[in-house]
Amino acid sequence: MDLSTLVRLQIDFDKAHGVSKPFFVPISSDNLQELEHLIVCLVGEVGEFANELKKVVRGDAPYEERKAALAEELTDTFIYLIKIAAQTGIDLESEYLKKLEKNRQRFPILGAQ
């Protein structure tokens, strides 16, 4: 499944379920508070991922035991990234490919002449 399909699935899901915050309205200069809310949500999910990792690193639980929780928090982060891309009209697939090419130029393969 490609990323554009995942974006469409998320948009359809967000439109179908009733929540107080509409996670499908296009972002413009008139409603930047919606984007701000999405960013706060994204950072919150990254924080939850970091908190799970902290527990592993300090020895509260083995990595294998917390891997499912880490996966869930990372997926929540991905969901918010998809929401932000959809609502801002940013095509993550094409932007990723452009950035990858830029990084290839910036960081050449070691040993290549």
Question: CA-CA distance, 63 to 59, in Å (whole number)?
Answer: 9
Asked, for residue 112, whether it belongs to a domain, the answer is no
Instruction: Give the list of residues 6+ apart from residue 15 with CB closer than 8 angstroms, or none.
Output: 24
Query: Model confidence over 86-100: pLDDT tens digits?
Result: 999 999 999 999 999
Helix ranges (H only) for 23-112 are: 32-57, 63-88, 92-106
Asked, for residue 37, whether it belongs to a domain, the answer is yes
Asked, for residue 111, whether it belongs to a domain, the answer is no
* Residue count (the chain): 113
Q: How far is residue 83 CA from its own chain's centroid?
A: 8
Give the pLDDT band of residue 40 (cuts 50, 70, 90).
very high
Look up the domain containing 45 and give its range.
3-106
| CATH of residue 75 | 1.10.287.1080
Provide the domain count of the chain: 1
pLDDT of 113 > 60? The answer is no
Q: Which residue has the tokens 């974006």?
A: 7
